[in-house]
Chains A and B, each alone.
Chain A
Amino acid sequence: MQKEDENLILEEEFDRSVSPTSSPSQSKENELLRISNLSIVYESKHANLLALDNIDLEIGQNRLIAVVGESGCGKSTLALSIIGLLAMPPAKIMNGKIEYKSINLTALKEKDRRKFRGTEIAMIFQEPLTSLNPVYKVGDQIAEAIAVREERKNDRSMDLESEVMQRTYKVNAPDMPSRLPRFKPGGLTKLLRDEVLQVLKQVRIADAEQVIDRYPFELSGGMRQRVMIAMALAQKPALLIADEPTTALDVTTQAQVLRLMKELIDEVNTSILLITHDLAVASQVADRVIVMYAGDIVEDSDVYDLFREPLHPYSKGLLSCIPVGSKDKAKLKPIPGSVPDLSKPFVGCKYASRCPFAMEICSKRSPRLVEARPNHRVACFLYSGESR
């Protein structure tokens, strides 16, 4: 009994100290998220796969940062670890911290972690149809997001009889078992409905009045992704993680969605972390590009600098793989070989076996990410001054 009480008190204190809204930002100005030394392993009976290998990264405000890499490079693991949706086990954080506004997220309990999800860090996924609930109308789903936001803002969490909840929902039962407010079909108040409409208009849905009462299956792929973005933005997050948001879409729709995301950064005051496999997409929208390879960040640079002169041999190789123009003009130069097996311990640079510039040192030690030029970090011995 006593022990339990102690725990309770501890938890309460903990709650206060980690509440995202109450703690003032003590970190560097403009810094939103800092990841240091993060290593994540997927454990299984047969092998342990090192998905992220000592990642260092910080994200500022009102920026669009693209994380680019091929499948299996760890970009989705990175995204999921930031928002805290990694399934643990099999995933396990070996070392490192993820600090959001100076709060170490990795040390939090799931209950506290949840308070950051949505209202502070939100995420949109690749396939909007599987991320939307098929049995609720689009408007209800966005309304839920708004309700959660209001609830957290007033910090009278889960108090269903509160004024906020009365205002946002026609709540009928105070003894509801669910922690999140339930929906009555068409139970949106005028106030909430107006807000949903406003969010839908913000993502450039022209006939918002009709869309609000539709089900996800009635919408086209582009519309669904807009609804997803609307849902995420309704919670006014400071950081929006977009994991391959346009991969399932057509090129013209992709252009529309990317343009929308770019415009929303300043409009709603958020940062976007765009996870993509497409270097060309990154070049078109990002302010900063992070190139990942086999669980490492190999290059991290301002977008203009990276495409003017990529430094890491992998970035160079990746760029020469994108077809530009016809076969008669320039033949593609594919990268030879394939990605190393991440379940085996590795010595040296992971790209060395495919690298045309590989030196002796590359197979002995792994390069650190160093600032080769202003705002341009690269993990390669060619630039670290350690080669000789």
Chain B
Amino acid sequence: MFSILGGIEIVSLTETVEVRDEDILVASHLKKYYRIRRGFNPFDRSKPKFVRAVEDVSITVPKGKTVAILGESGCGKTTLARAITLLSPPTSGHIFFNGRVIFDGEGGKFRNVNYKELYRDLQMVFQDPDSSLDPRLKVKDIIAEPCKGLLDIEKEAIDAIVMESLKAVGLSQEHAYRLPTHLSGGQKQRVAIARAIAPQPRLVILDEPTSALDASVQAQILNLLLSLQTNYNLTYILITHNISVAEYLSDFLVVMYAGSVVEQGPTASVIANPRHPYTKTLIASAPIPNPLKRTLLTTEIIGEVPSVINPPSGCKFNPRCSYAEQICREKIPELREISPGQFAACHLAEKIP
């Protein structure tokens, strides 16, 4: 299923996948199910139920690029990020990172992963800086924390790294001795970013890096992320619900709906010519600062995101889709290439306007 372009061959226990040289991370057929605990009813003989948070998702992340995972709350985008980082390991699937297998499908077995090595190269910026920064540590200790565990270096060297990352995110030395409560929202997010880049990772996962920020601060952070990417040669996975942020920052776009990928491809072409009706809806409902184009008021949006415990049969979007036909209610659509590089999981992708 992966394109073979003279890359290295990585053999996992159950799957052989060709990974291109330019890819830093390949996740294939990832699933993450959460089992719902039964109640206390001793006569309850029903089958166990699962929340299918991530259902068969495959993504490829090229080195030095930004892949945005776009979707609404509950679509599984954060679960996917946590599965990729092994913070909550996937139920099944394969993850190849940096030339190695870090997770190997079937029943949650995974190879001896050297976590120290893994997290040196793979870092994450969490959703809410308020809750991801220890309120009792000073900024310099917050940033030093991952370095202490991951890098085998002297204390002085760590201090130097801390100061360098503080400078890189646009904070001054005086901020190093403050507590998170003494920082503004934007500064807290800068500290969270500084902590992530301190061990000099190759891939950073950004989980909603700007959703808690004001517009002017958001702009500062977005530009900071761009300059860090070029300076440190970083690869980003951007988790966001904001289509304009995704469009601004990313090279590739993955649109998720109720646990599955509905569309993926180069950002520009997905946004210019969305092939999945859900992507279309998402683009139309994203407010743009132009009163002459009131797409928000003119598009009809029906229904709500379905339950991932009992998803609708066939295409999960069919109850809300204005193009839905009989086949959509019966058959689950496969992700297929509609135009070069652009994939959509829709039976009618060619037919919809």
User: Which residues of A line the B interface, CB within 8 A?
Assistant: 70-71, 220, 222-223, 250-256, 258-259, 262, 277-281, 283-286, 303-304, 307, 317-327, 331-335, 338
Contact indicator B285/A280 (Cβ below 8 Å):
no
Contact indicator A327/B249 (Cβ below 8 Å):
yes
A255 and B301 in contact, given A71-B214, A277-B214 (Cβ under 8 angstroms): yes
Contact indicator A252/B223 (Cβ below 8 Å):
no
A322 and B296 in contact, given A252-B301, A317-B216 (Cβ under 8 angstroms): no
Contact indicator A255/B214 (Cβ below 8 Å):
no
Which of B27-35, B104-112, B240-248 binds A?
A: B240-248
Contact indicator A250/B218 (Cβ below 8 Å):
no
Contact indicator A250/B241 (Cβ below 8 Å):
yes
Contact indicator A319/B282 (Cβ below 8 Å):
no
Contact of B294 with A by CB under 8 A: yes
Instruction: Give the distance in Å from the alpha carbon of A279 to the alpha carbon of B288 in the complex.
Output: 9
Contact of B12 with A by CB under 8 A: no
Contact of B286 with A by CB under 8 A: yes
A283 and B220 in contact, given A250-B73, A252-B281 (Cβ under 8 angstroms): no
Contact of B268 with A by CB under 8 A: yes
> In the complex, which residue of chain A has the Cβ closest to the Cβ of B286?
A251
Residues on A with beta carbons closer than 8 Å to the beta carbon of B288: 280, 283-284, 324
Contact of B215 with A by CB under 8 A: yes
A323 and B244 in contact, given A222-B304, A284-B294, A284-B296 (Cβ under 8 angstroms): yes
Contact sample, A vs B, 10 pairs, CB 8 Å cutoff: A70-B214, A254-B285, A284-B294, A284-B296, A285-B294, A285-B297, A321-B219, A322-B219, A323-B248, A324-B288
Contact indicator B296/A327 (Cβ below 8 Å):
no
Contact indicator B289/A324 (Cβ below 8 Å):
yes
Contact indicator B245/A323 (Cβ below 8 Å):
yes
Add 10 more A-B contacts to A253-B72, A255-B284, A279-B289 (CB < 8 A): A251-B243, A259-B296, A259-B297, A281-B296, A284-B296, A304-B292, A318-B216, A319-B289, A323-B222, A334-B219
Contact indicator B290/A307 (Cβ below 8 Å):
yes
Contact indicator B215/A262 (Cβ below 8 Å):
no
> In the complex, which residue of chain B has the Cβ closest to the Cβ of A255?
B285
A280 and B287 in contact, given A220-B304, A222-B304 (Cβ under 8 angstroms): yes
Instruction: Give the distance in Å from the alpha carbon of A255 to the alpha carbon of B72 in the complex.
Output: 13
A281 and B222 in contact, given A70-B216, A252-B72 (Cβ under 8 angstroms): no
A349 to chain B, nearest CB (A): 17
Partner of B244, one of A252, A324, A335: A324
Contact indicator B304/A253 (Cβ below 8 Å):
yes
Contact indicator A332/B304 (Cβ below 8 Å):
no
B199 to chain A, nearest CB (A): 26
Contact indicator B289/A251 (Cβ below 8 Å):
no
Instruction: Give the distance in Å from the alpha carbon of A303 to the alpha carbon of B287 in the complex.
Output: 15
Contact of B299 with A by CB under 8 A: yes
Contact indicator B289/A322 (Cβ below 8 Å):
yes
Residues on B with beta carbons closer than 8 Å to the beta carbon of A335: 216, 219
Instruction: Give the distance in Å from the alpha carbon of A326 to the alpha carbon of B295 in the complex.
Output: 20
Residues on B with beta carbons closer than 8 Å to the beta carbon of A256: 301
Contact indicator B289/A332 (Cβ below 8 Å):
no
- Give the most central of A70, A251, A253: most B CB within 10 Å: A251
A283 and B287 in contact, given A71-B214, A251-B282, A326-B267 (Cβ under 8 angstroms): yes
Contact indicator B247/A323 (Cβ below 8 Å):
yes
Residues on B with beta carbons closer than 8 Å to the beta carbon of A262: 297
Contact indicator B247/A252 (Cβ below 8 Å):
no
Instruction: Give the distance in Å from the alpha carbon of A252 to the alpha carbon of B282 in the complex.
Output: 6
B65 to chain A, nearest CB (A): 12
Instruction: Give the distance in Å from the alpha carbon of A128 to the alpha carbon of B298 in the complex.
Output: 25
Instruction: Give the distance in Å from the alpha carbon of A322 to the alpha carbon of B287 in the complex.
Output: 11
Partner of A283, one of B214, B226, B245, B290: B290
- Give the most central of B226, B287, B288: most A CB within 10 Å: B287
Residues on A with beta carbons closer than 8 Å to the beta carbon of B281: 252
Contact indicator B289/A258 (Cβ below 8 Å):
no
- Give the most central of A262, A307, A322, A323: most B CB within 10 Å: A323
Residues on A with beta carbons closer than 8 Å to the beta carbon of B173: none
B256-287 interface with A by 8 A CB criterion: 267-268, 281-282, 284-287
Partner of A332, one of B73, B219, B292, B294: B219
B341 to chain A, nearest CB (A): 16
Instruction: Give the distance in Å from the alpha carbon of A303 to the alpha carbon of B242 in the complex.
Output: 23
A14 to chain B, nearest CB (A): 43
Contact of B42 with A by CB under 8 A: no
B66 to chain A, nearest CB (A): 9
Instruction: Give the distance in Å from the alpha carbon of A222 to the alpha carbon of B287 in the complex.
Output: 17
Contact indicator A327/B248 (Cβ below 8 Å):
yes
Instruction: Give the distance in Å from the alpha carbon of A286 to the alpha carbon of B214 in the complex.
Output: 20
Residues on A with beta carbons closer than 8 Å to the beta carbon of B304: 220, 222-223, 253
Contact of B48 with A by CB under 8 A: no
